[in-house]
Amino acid sequence: MTTETLAAGAVPAGESGAGRTHWWRDAVIYQVYIRSFADSDGDGVGDLPGIRSRLPYLAGLGVDALWITPFYLSPMADFGYDVADYRAVDPVFGTLDDFRDLLTDAHARGLRVIVDLVPNHTSDLHAWFVEALAAPEGSAARDRYIFRDGRGSRGELPPNDWESVFGGPAWTRTVDADGRPGQWYLHLFAPEQPDLNWELEEVRAEFLDVLRFWLDLGVDGFRIDVAHGMVKAPGLPDVGRADHVELIGNAVLPFFDQDGVHEIYRAWRVLLDSYPGERIGVAEAWAPTPERLANYVRPDELHQAFNFDFLAQPFQAGALRAAIDHSLATAGSVGAPSTWVLSNHDTKRHVTRYGGGAVGRARARAAALLMLALPGSAYVYQGEELGLPEVLDIPVEFLVDPQGIQSGDPAKGRDGCRVPLPWSGTVPPYGFGPAGSTASWLPAPASWSSLTIEAESGDPGSMLELYRSALALRRALPSLGAQTADSALMWLELPGAPEAVLAFRRGDRFVCMVNTGSEAVTLPAPGALLLASAAVPVLADSITLPADSAAWWRV
Ligand code: GLC
């Protein structure tokens, strides 16, 4: 790591104004996938009062903020990522008053709340799209979306070769009032998620107003869904490739990561900054390179972008170190904090990605200590603090994710990372709902009784207690988290350490060591042991770091 990078990790001078806490630069943000977090009314679907009732758990875990996935009025074709009304709460999740109460209580506990904004597309049942379908070709109502004539002599072919992220063509043909086939509309995701036309001033104004609506209610920020998708290349040119576009990918495409998208975020930043309390924007953006991703977090754009490059790495020292260096350097080059994420509601849970079983669990424990020792902000996906694995054997009749269904490949489905959180008890759904309720929109495995919050609480060997300890230390140790120049990351080259070992310092007094190899490694003792993901024998002047483990040291 170069001295330039160290300097770039510091808070930019222009942002150090009075009253700015930069809370977000090192915040640990807990992702609540609302359908699966806590169900207050026994309908088998998590909801806002459910989250509210579990705030003591989240505050006790030691996170700084929650990001709640969409809870707006939605026909649920993509479980809330198809929004029919951006200012209304879906009855399955509660009411606007429930949200107000949740926000008040969260703030009272010192937890910030980030909501999910879905600007790339609406639901097909949004009033605008219903109006557009009923309106004639070329009308102002249709211009809010992307309608085009088909190719072929009778318009029978899609307007271009774009494929939906979920599989199949990204275009669906409409039927005119007289019953004849009409124009096609674009949907980068499901047909029930028509893409908006962000060239239109009216669309931009509407979303500024939606942002104001939630900012006025007091939210602390927005996670911006498909933040790289809103602007399409002029003329909607063919991709010219036969292979399928992955949601999680780095391809250069005419509908993702277009330069024009940044103008939108500059306008949003002005709005966010006009509110007190450092309200933030977080981009869910997939860009071809970390450099392109850094564009989203320039000082006049959004605050953070998810670091999917880190998530995509295998549990292997070289790959992790390269991703860390690259992320710190590129985010640092624009003065932004890096972010770190291991799992979310769109990807296979990392216990399983890292090999599953005891090995996957050991690696996930080590990865948690690695992530929480890195400079910047970390995202924790609900259930990772319990070590939940991906559920790979959900009976096929329960599978509901459009990505799995539309692609025709259940292995691509995301249901397995969305199974309701196990709270207590010994039988599914493990206290997910009110006492006596057995309802759960996805079935939880019979094997999860040892993975509940109740079962793991107080067990010193549990994943939950590891996260609690790590988060408490992260708060207590001044060298962790904060992106000040003097606590930037400094790699250590340890004599005799094999390539599978990563070691770095944060500040003068903190060292993190990770052994990604399958053999234990004996190394000189760096100081006093603070926390470890596995039993670490410490002798007078040497320590043994087991396979797939990590440890924190006070120097
Ligand atoms: C984002 C969401 C994902 C959703 C998609 C379409 O990638 O994280 O869950 O399906 O956008 O809105």
Condensed to tens digits (0 to 9), the pLDDT of residues 213-233 reads 999 999 999 999 999 999 999
Residue numbers annotated as active site = 225, 284
Q: Strand, coil or helix: what is 380?
A: strand
Please identify which residue in the block is written with the tokens 């979920």: 166
The percent of residues in the chain predicted with pLDDT above 90, rounded, is: 88
Distance CA 321, CA 505 (A): 13
CB 130 less than 6 A from any atom of ligand 1: no
The answer, yes or no, to whether any atom of ligand 1 lies below 6 A from the CB of 82, is no
Q: Which of 401, 395, 443, 400 is nearest to 422 (CA)?
A: 443
Q: Can you tell me which atom of ligand 1 is nearest the CA of 345?
A: 9
Task: Please tell me if the CB atom of residue 189 comes closer than 6 angstroms to any atom of ligand 1.
Answer: yes
**Pairing verdict, β 221-224 and 112-117:** parallel
Q: What local confidence, expressed as pLDDT, does residue 6 receive?
A: 31
Establish whether residue 166 lines the binding site of ligand 1, counting it when its CB lies within 6 angstroms of any ligand atom: no
Closest atom of ligand 1 to CA, residue 188: 6
Query: For the residues 25-46, what does the mean pLDDT come to?
Result: 98
pLDDT digits (tens, 9 = 90+) for 198-208: 999 999 999 99
Mean pLDDT of the region 427-446: 97
Pick the atom of ligand 1 nearest to 189's CA.
6
Q: Is the pLDDT of residue 503 over 80?
A: yes
Identify whether the C-beta of residue 39 lies closer than 8 Å to the C-beta of residue 437.
Answer: yes
More confident call, 6 vs 23: 23
User: How many whole angstroms from 166 Cα to the centroid of ligand 1?
Assistant: 10
Pocket test residue of 116, 225, 245, 345 for ligand 1, highest count of atoms within 8 A of CB: 225
Could you read off the pLDDT of 452-473 as tens digits, one per residue? 999 999 999 999 999 999 999 9
Q: Is the CB of 247 under 6 A from ligand 1?
A: yes
pLDDT in tens, 41-92: 999 999 999 999 999 999 999 999 999 999 999 999 999 999 999 999 999 9
Distance between Cα 5 and ligand 1 center (Å)? 32
pLDDT band at 128 (very low <50, low <70, confident <90, very high): very high
Residue (of 160, 161, 121) closest to 144 by Cα position: 121
Distance 438 CA to ligand 1 centre (A): 28
Nearest to 514 by CA among 324, 352, 326: 324
Would you say 418 and 398 are in contact if contact means Cβ atoms under 8 Å apart? no
Q: Say yes or no: CB of residue 226 within 6 Å of ligand 1.
A: yes
Q: Are 376 and 26 in contact (CB under 8 A)?
A: yes
Ligand 1 pocket check for 195: Cβ under 6 Å: no
Report the C-alpha gap between 158 and 144 in whole angstroms: 19
- Ligand 1 pocket mutation, candidates 34, 68, 78, criterion most atoms within 8 A of CB: 78
If you take atom 7 of ligand 1, which residue's CA is the nearest one? 226
C-alpha span between 273 and 279 (Å, rounded): 7
Stated as kind and residue range, the H or E segment containing 339 is strand 339-341
Is the minimum distance from the CB of 308 to ligand 1 under 6 angstroms? no
pLDDT > 70: percent of the chain = 94
Q: What is the mean pLDDT of the chain?
A: 93
